[in-house]
Structure 1
Amino acid sequence: MRILHTSDWHLGRSFHREGLLGHQAAFVDHLIEVVDSESVDLVVVSGDIYDRALPPVDAVHLANEALARLAASRAKVVVTSGNHDSAQRLGFGADLIDRAGVHLRTRAASVGTPVLLGDEHGEVAVHGLPYLDPEAVHRAWELPERSHQAALEEAMRRVRADLASRPGARSVVLAHAFVGGAAAPVPSDSERDISVGGVSLVPTSVFDGVDYTALGHLHGAHVLTETVRYSGSPLAYSFSEAGHTKGSWLVDLGAEGVAATEFVEAPVPRRLARLSGTLEALLADPAYTADEGAWVQATLTDDIRPAEAMERLRRRFPHALVLTFAPHSGPGTAPMTAPVTGRSDHEVALAFVEAVRGAPADAAESALLRDAVEACCEDRDLDPAEVVA
């Protein structure tokens, strides 16, 4: 059986206010092409189909299109809900949709009931575990503690109980969690914290004995063991993912378990670039020519903060989205220590500008700061009759 493992689509998400729906649609096209060209038998999507519980209408339309195209393909499909999804909304109509070969698994109550498939080597039991919020399942499942590990251990107890009744069946498990061994994978900035009591990590040993575990939640592709892997998100959702290679895992499940794996790279509609240097260097250095079409995060190291920095930067890098300042030295690196007692608000504001920028405000800037200070200080609710001339 050939399996395509993907996760964390986050349909409807934007990137620093840049819409990504067109890029996400390009990934869906790619996914369908891989299913066809690689003769995929099973597509597993391990959670976070949407970016939020109430997704925008266009994202729902794209999800509907994706699932409809997968249903019309040669592959069966198992989809689970992630911590960003609304389990109730994503799972609506699951019993009916099952008949189309797309199996939505979003309810904790269904844990332990597999999707049963088969190939020339026999039966394959696919257990889709939705994101299991420890707070939600603690009482219902009578867990010994509120933790992700306790929730997943109970889920896997139910899975193993089912597998024990199917001697010879191979197993595939989908889970959405932060899983790691001795060296836990490093999360990216775009992943929502799911820790409970400061703890979110679940050991890989929870999935011992499973032929293949398809994980979701982390946005980078990670190989924890030969049989426990993250596919990562198909697109970068933060600049911390600039070094990621995005894609899906193609897994061949043989008679004895995983026989082969291959990472299939996803298309990159627009890559990310993290640049650092003085503004003049970024604008003039030919080494940055390849980054002119990228989404750019720039860190300026000028000792004196340049005026109109973002506007000037976008003349060369029109897709610059984030600008930060980290001067090597100079006034902007030292804290302000001068006392403010006895100085007007306007004088304090002028001192702040000079301390940060390394140069005093000009006359126009000084006038603008004065207007701002006076506007903030004015009490608009004061009775005019009480004003003393």
Structure 2
Amino acid sequence: MRILHTSDWHVGRTFHGVDLLADQAAALEAVAQLVADEGVDVVVVPGDVYDRAVPSADAVTVCNRAFEEIRAAGAVIVATSGNHDSPARLGAGAAFAAAGGLHLMTRVSEVATPVVLSDAHGPVAFYGIPYLEPDTTRAELGVPTARTHADILDAAMTRVRTDLSERADQGAAVRSVVLAHAFVVGAEATGSERSISVGGVETVSASAFDGVDYVALGHLHSPQTVTDRVRYSGSPLPYSFGERTHRKAVWIVDLDADGLAGVTRHDLPVVRGLSQVSGTVDELLGDDAFEAAVGDYVSAVLTDPVRPVDAMRVLRERFPHLVHLEWARPAGDTDLKYRDKVRGRTDREIVTSFLTDVRAEPTASELRWVEQALGAAARESDGEAAGRGEAVA
């Protein structure tokens, strides 16, 4: 059996306020094309199909079209919910969808009820473990004292292994695949993932998944190999500038009669690149060194000595997909260093300048209060010095 492992579609997500639905549709079309090209039998999606619990109508349209294209390419789909999407909404109509080859496994109570598909070597059991928040799932999993994700996942995997054992006792040689949405120790986050820790420890050990042939993980957004049998596929698109150097990919997993036969990485096409650029407005507009970033989503750091006016509009003339802009005060400009600005000035001059900057020029009456306060502070300081036996200038 040939399985394609993809995850964390986050359909409906925006990138610095920019709608990504067209990009997501293109990326998922590439996944469907790979299904057709590689003769994939099953596509697994372990969580965060949508980016939010209540996706927009347009996001639902894009997601449904992706499911249809993958199914038309010849693969059955098995998907679970993550920490972004809603189990109840994603799983609505699951029984009806399963008849068409789309298996939505979102119920905690059914973690040990697999979708069983067969190939020439016999059955393969796909167990879907949705995102398990300890506070809301520990009672349902029969572990009322559990507080961490590790405790909850151990309870879920105990049910999975029990089901596998019972099938083996009945003489069925069943190979197994687990879909799970979790943060496994040893893996690395990219920064675009939402934390899943709420009052407990969010990481789990890879050993929690012992006893199954392959574990398709979701939650982290870069392709990663935790062990040969435990992997993250990552998201099909980058969702932060921290991912600009990542090449997005999927895993194609082959099972033979004995279990895992091999795993192959397939890079996905870059829909639109991400670039970070730095310079003055004039440099960014005129320097050929930035030409490669023109078609990318761009984050720009401005180094002009004075904050430029209307820089976003001006720079978008060259970088139409500029989505983030910040101004970095030049560190080497001594005119802007506070120490240099106050050197040689009296306390009265410094306070007067401060009041003028933050409010307005102080009145004569206010200046008298300032002088009285400064005089009192000076007398107090002199008194403390005298008490210590120090000379007072």
- Where in structure 2 are the equivalents of 1:1-389 lying within 5 Å? 1-143=1-143, 144-167=145-168, 168-181=173-186, 184-185=187-188, 187-197=189-199, 199-326=201-328, 327-330=330-333, 347-348=357-358
Alpha-carbon distance between aligned partners in 1 of 2:272 and 2:359, rounded to the nearest angstrom: 40
Q: Cα distance 1:158–1:333, how it changes in 2: closer, same or farther (>3 A)?
A: farther
Is the contact between residue 297 and residue 323 of structure 2 (CA under 8 Å) also seen in structure 1? Answer: yes
Q: Judge which range, 293-302 or 215-224, deviates more.
A: 293-302
Cα gap change, 1:329 to 1:199, in 2 (>3 Å): farther
Q: Runs of at least 4 residues of structure 1 off by over 4 A?
A: 331-346
SS of the aligned residue for 1:165 comes to helix
The amino acid that maps onto 1:328 is A
Kindly report the root-mean-square deviation, in angstroms, between the aligned alpha carbons of the 2 structures: 2.4
CA drift at 1:7? 0.8
Instruction: Supply the distance in 2 between the matched residues of 1:350 and 1:269 (Cα, whole angstroms).
Output: 52
**Cα distance in 2 between the residues matched to 1:209 and 1:35:** 28
In the superposition, the TM-score normalised over structure 1's length comes to: 0.83
Instruction: Please state whether the residue corresponding to 2:317 is helix, strand or coil.
Output: helix
Maintained 8 Å contact 2:190/2:242: yes
**Conserved 8 A contact 1:26-1:267:** no
Structure 1 residues 169 and 349, CA gap change in structure 2 (3 angstroms): farther
Q: AA paired with 1:25? A: A
Post-superposition shift, 1:198?
Answer: 5.2
Secondary structure of the residue aligned to 2:39 is: coil
Query: In the aligned structure 2, how far is the partner of 1:149 from the partner of 1:22?
Result: 37
Is the CA contact 1:275–1:296 (under 8 Å) kept in the aligned structure 2? yes
- Please tell me whether the aligned partners of residues 303 and 329 of structure 1 are also in contact (alpha carbons under 8 angstroms): no
- Separation (CA, whole Å) in 2 of partners of 1:140 and 1:101: 28
Structure 1 residue 71 displacement after superposition: 3.4
Offset of 1:46 from its aligned partner? 0.8
AA aligned opposite 2:327:
F
**CA deviation string 1:37-62 (max 9, x = no partner):** 11001100111111100110111112
Inter-CA distance 350–238: structure 2 relative to 1 (3 Å threshold): farther
- Aligned partners of 2:27 and 2:271 also within 8 Å: no
State which structure, 1 or 2, has the greater radius of gyration over its C-alpha atoms.
Answer: 2
1:269 offset after TM fit, Å? 2.1
* C-alpha contact 2:108 2:140 (8 A) present in aligned 1: no
Does the 8 Å contact 2:126/2:176 carry over to 1?
A: yes
What are the Cα deviations for residues 265-308 of structure 1, in whole angstroms up to 9, with x where unaligned?
22322110012334444333322211111111112334443444
Distance in 1 separating the partners of 2:80 and 2:336: 49
The structural deviation recorded for 1:329 is 2.7
Alpha carbons of structure 1 residues 303 and 163: separation in structure 2 relative to 1, 3 Å: same
Total equivalences in the alignment: 348
SS of structure 1 residue aligned to 2:3: strand
Partner of 1:369: none
Mapped partners of 1:32, 1:11: distance in 2: 15
